[in-house]
Chains A and B, each alone.
Chain A
Amino acid sequence: MTHSAVIASLVKAYFSGSRIATSLGLPLAKKKRSKAMTFAGKIGLGILLAISFGYMAVMLGFNFYSYQVTGQSLLGTSSLGFFMALVIDFVILLVFSLFSTSGIFYRTKENQLLMTLPITKSDLMISRLIISYLSFFVMHLFVCLPAIVVLFFLPFSLSSLLGALIFLVLSPLVPEAISAFLVTLSIRIGWRKNSRKGGELAFSIILILAIILVYGLGMRMMYATLMEDSASIMPLIELATVAMKYLAPMTFLAKAAAGEMSIGFVWYLLIFAGVCILAELYIRKHFFYCVSVVQNGGGATRKSSHSVLYKAQSPIISLYRREWTNLLSSSGFAFELFGETFIPVILIVMYSAMGIIGQMSEQISMISSSPSFPAIITAALLFMAVMNMCSSTSISRQGKYFYLDRSLPCDSSTFVKAKLLFHMVFGFAPSCLYYAVCVAFFKISPLWLAWMIPMSFLAYLVSGACGLYFDYKSPMLDWKTAQQAVKQNKNGLLGMGMGLAYILVQGAAYYFLTSLISPILGIIATLVIGACSSMLFLDLAFKQASKAYSPA
């Protein structure tokens, strides 16, 4: 076989060969679902996805556009929007590939087999690189396409075509090469697995905050440009100038794309090639060493063993603790779910970036003194409560272990209660903290807490029960990488969609009853709706679980 044929078959094997093969892939329950239903469900899901992604892409496009316009008027370059897109794309790809590179390169079970086959090191490596390129290409498109669309507002030139093409096709290689390098380095210098994970987590939190900041500042610039108030954003412009100076390679590419090709573009190409080649050389040198270290337990299993304690706990608590073990067993799970829980922190950063706008128009005081303000805060926090995938991917996250649960001597309701307990501790407990912060920060009367906290409790209960219902119904158990179980899981979307419907119904009832009759009635109605829905979904979840835990 030629090298390219070998590489192609390695890539194919990775994407098609499911390593959890037939042995435990047991039938969950005999399915009798009409084709039309499945088809309709797929279309509905597709529309939901298209709308949400479309919305985010349009927002991103606006953001880039506002940078572009601001840059044109204040910096005399049209490249600022494209530059921002390059930075965001780079950061996003770096974060996500950092989390999966070690999985794709070193931790994959395939390696045990592949190492014994007569495949050259560079074929193996190139195939891994292509795999990570393909894995993140859609995400890359998501950032890249809006930026390219925004370019259409500039006069067309050959140089912008070239810049856009390079961004589209080649630029993902740089963050992926860098993350492969970083992961290899961390294994090579024998970073302990736990500190490695901590490092990954800290690094990505910083990067995410950076993205949010860029985003928030973009909104700010857009506002200032609209108001023709350039003085207030001068500091931001200075910041952008500094960033463009230090991230020179990206600036050169951005300038080329904006039709301002300069000799610096050659620099970009040189640096690009240099980074890729250096990373390649380094990884090639240490590839087998790292594979063997990782396959032998990460070279980092803790030497000191834990003390041996014999402690009896109730089945529910024991199962609840297992949920934590499962969540923390993979940085993929932890990243996705902790991310959701701490979105409020991210939102606060965003709001404070936009809060400046609010202060200027003295609207925030108007809003926060308006009688409906607590309801708005409640709605925002309820929205966060239902936007989580903790329960709706809970069974899927167990993967093939799930079938073994059927042999455990517990009633199906015990499993469900443990999962719900986990959901409440993971979601509702931190939310109480957020409520306290809101009350203190916006000077809302603590009396509102008496309404907000039960509402939030019910929202978490509804979203937990309904998520469990969907995930028990058709769990996704045969995933290969941890991220798939969470990110590519339609149950997560179904759970969030249902949660959204729940708060919309509640909101509508509150709005109409409050404006037509009285706020007290509105409050009572929301609580009644919450109680009824949680009872309904709990019932559904328990019934579905009893099916899933019965032998099939």
Chain B
Amino acid sequence: MIRIANVTKAYNENAKPAVNDLSFQVNSGEIFVFLGPNGAGKSTTIKMLVGILAQDRGTIEVAGFDNLTDSLEMKKRIGYVSDEPEFYEKMTAIRYLNFIDDLFEVPAEVRKIRIEKYARMFEIEDKLGNEISSYSHGMKQKLGIIAALSHDPEVLILDEPMVGLDPKSSFLLKEALRAFCNEGKTVFFSTHVMDTAERVCDRVAIINQGCLIAMGSFAQLKANSGEQNATLEKLFLELTDKEEMPR
């Protein structure tokens, strides 16, 4: 579960806030998609959720823990996939996975079962012994996802996870996310691709220039706009355009 209330964050004191008075809640057992164009403030929001950035105002709670006062307990329950799959290039993939699981204190037998399962699913089980520098962008992305899933978090937070994945892998990822949710856990991921959002999400929040401009299930958004056969793409363009018009 994620709860964000009136959160504002500016990178510099005088700059326009990257995230402006954002409030929403993500419930357990749902896949929540955070949709917005480039520079909308998605990564900034996510970095606040995982303990990299601190908000200037407002409160954030993940899995029942405050991100500023209880950050350690919070981080123990989060699986985070960063937007840049940058790893320690000189480590082998398995050492990286062991490293992450050591920090999350996952017992050896448990991590073995999970890593094998997900590595097989994403078809990199025979490459786990290779140095990460030999991985392609998509493979690194997969490795990041496996690392996040391997310590069985309560909340999975992914920043643009589909970037760089081939169609099959991105399908597999969606399946994995769905299975993860069905256990009553929470998935929160950002994307700028409407397609992705439309297919997998239970609910979606659309953000533009740091402000929330629409939220709800896809059906609700359609109903609100009054267009029965609109695609999310059309809605998205309409909504983000409206914001920009008055300028």
Contact = CB atoms under 8 A, between A and B. Distances in A.
Contacts of B103: 315, 318-319, 408-410
Contact of B133 (A297, A313, A318, A403): A297
Contacts of B80: 407
Interface of B: 11, 43, 47-48, 50-54, 67-68, 71-72, 75-76, 78, 80, 82-84, 86, 88-92, 94-95, 98-99, 101-109, 111-112, 115, 126-131, 133-134
Contacts of B84: 23-24
A403 B52 CA distance: 6
Nearest to B54: A551
A312 B108 contact: yes
Contacts of A410: 72, 103
A23 B83 contact: yes
A408 B147 CA distance: 12
B151 to A, nearest CB: 9
A68 B226 CA distance: 92
A310 B111 contact: yes
B76 A409 contact: yes
Contact of A550 (B43, B71, B91, B98): B71
Interface string A1-36: 000000000000000000000011011000000000
A314 B52 contact: no
A552 to B, nearest CB: 6
Contacts of B78: 407, 409
Interface string A212-238: 000000000000000000000000000
A311 B106 CA distance: 10
B134 A301 contact: yes
A408 B100 CA distance: 8
A325 B91 contact: yes
Given A301-B130, A315-B102, 17 more contacts: A301-B134, A306-B92, A307-B129, A308-B94, A308-B128, A308-B129, A309-B94, A311-B98, A315-B103, A318-B99, A401-B86, A407-B51, A407-B82, A409-B75, A409-B76, A409-B103, A409-B104
Given A26-B52, A325-B88, A313 B102 contact: yes
Contacts of B98: 309-313, 318
A121 to B, nearest CB: 26
B90 A325 contact: yes
A322 interface: yes
Contacts of B130: 301-302, 305-306
A422 to B, nearest CB: 15
B105 A408 contact: no
Contacts of A313: 98, 102
A508 interface: no
A297 B139 CA distance: 14
A400 interface: yes
B52 A551 contact: yes
A310 B52 contact: no
A310 B131 contact: no
A301 B43 contact: no
Interface in A283-319: 297-298, 301-302, 305-315, 317-319
B178 to A, nearest CB: 24
A37 interface: no
A138 to B, nearest CB: 30
A24 B234 CA distance: 32
Contacts of A403: 52
Q: Which 7 A-B pairs have the closest CB atoms?
A: A305-B129, A318-B102, A551-B54, A409-B75, A310-B112, A301-B134, A312-B108
The listed residue with most B CB atoms (<10 A of its CB), out of A24, A297, A312, A328, is A312
Contacts of B129: 305-308
23 contacts: A23-B43, A23-B83, A298-B133, A306-B130, A308-B94, A308-B129, A310-B98, A310-B109, A311-B108, A312-B101, A312-B105, A312-B106, A315-B102, A319-B103, A321-B99, A322-B99, A325-B91, A325-B95, A407-B51, A407-B80, A409-B78, A410-B72, A551-B67
Contacts of A309: 94, 98
Interface residues of A, number: 41
Contacts of A481: none
A307 B92 CA distance: 10
A313 B83 CA distance: 28
A120 interface: no
Contacts of A409: 72, 75-76, 78, 103-104
Contacts of A550: 54, 68, 71
A326 interface: yes
B115 A310 contact: yes
Contacts of A311: 98, 108
Contacts of A297: 133-134
Nearest to A400: B86
Contacts of B92: 305-306
A311 B99 CA distance: 9
Residue of A307, A309, A550 with most partner-chain B CB within 10 A: A309
A468 to B, nearest CB: 19
A551 B89 contact: no
Contacts of A325: 88, 90-91, 95
A404 interface: yes
Nearest to B151: A409
Nearest to B68: A551
Interface string A380-412: 000000000000000000001101101111110
A297 B131 CA distance: 10
Contacts of B126: 305
Interface in A399-452: 400-401, 403-404, 406-411
Nearest to A314: B102
Contacts of A322: 88, 99
A26 to B, nearest CB: 6
B111 A326 contact: no
A40 B47 CA distance: 35
Contacts of A305: 92, 126-130
Interface string A313-352: 1110111011001101100000000000000000000000
Given A305-B127, A306-B94, A406 B99 contact: no
B51 A551 contact: yes
Nearest to B135: A297
A552 B54 contact: yes
A305 B52 CA distance: 34
A308 B94 CA distance: 6
B100 to A, nearest CB: 8
A386 to B, nearest CB: 29
Contacts of B88: 322, 325-326, 329, 401
Nearest to A405: B52
Nearest to B134: A301
Given A318-B102, A551-B53, A551-B68, A27 B11 contact: yes
A21 to B, nearest CB: 11
A328 B106 contact: no
B58 to A, nearest CB: 13
Contacts of B43: 23
A160 to B, nearest CB: 50
Given A326-B88, A404-B82, A551 B128 contact: no
A319 B95 CA distance: 12
